[in-house]
Structure 1
């Protein structure tokens, strides 16, 4: 039973885009590893940009600085 956890920042990803990610990951696991789609679990976790950081700052702050 494959379990895949995908973490992304919460910033405008649509329901349709998430559904496509789930389909394509499931298809890849079936095609490459022979895993059954009915036993494949995909979880998408959306993390607020204030709770995701790199380069010593939150993603929110980083994006504000780089867009100026």
Structure 2
């Protein structure tokens, strides 16, 4: 079964992450079959100073 790697800016709560991984797992099982125990989700929180879009660090955005 799949392993998902999610990178996102830090700041989400544990509750938000729990809901996200539950929904990713549910949809994966629904679409691909298998069991929830076979779906892995890795979340990497990235500091705003380490992420840039359009040449501007997110820590520099208002």
- What TM-score do you get using the length of structure 2 for normalisation? 0.91
Distance 2:17 2:39 in 1: 16
> 1:40 maps to which residue?
39
Unaligned runs of 5+ in 2: none
Q: CA RMSD in A?
A: 1.0
Runs (4 or more) in structure 1 with deviation over 4 Å come to: none
> 2:10 maps to which residue?
10
Unaligned runs of 5+ in 1: none
Deviation of 1:35 (Å): 3.0
- What TM-score do you get using the length of structure 1 for normalisation? 0.84
Deviation of 1:33 (Å): 1.1
How many pairs were matched up? Answer: 62
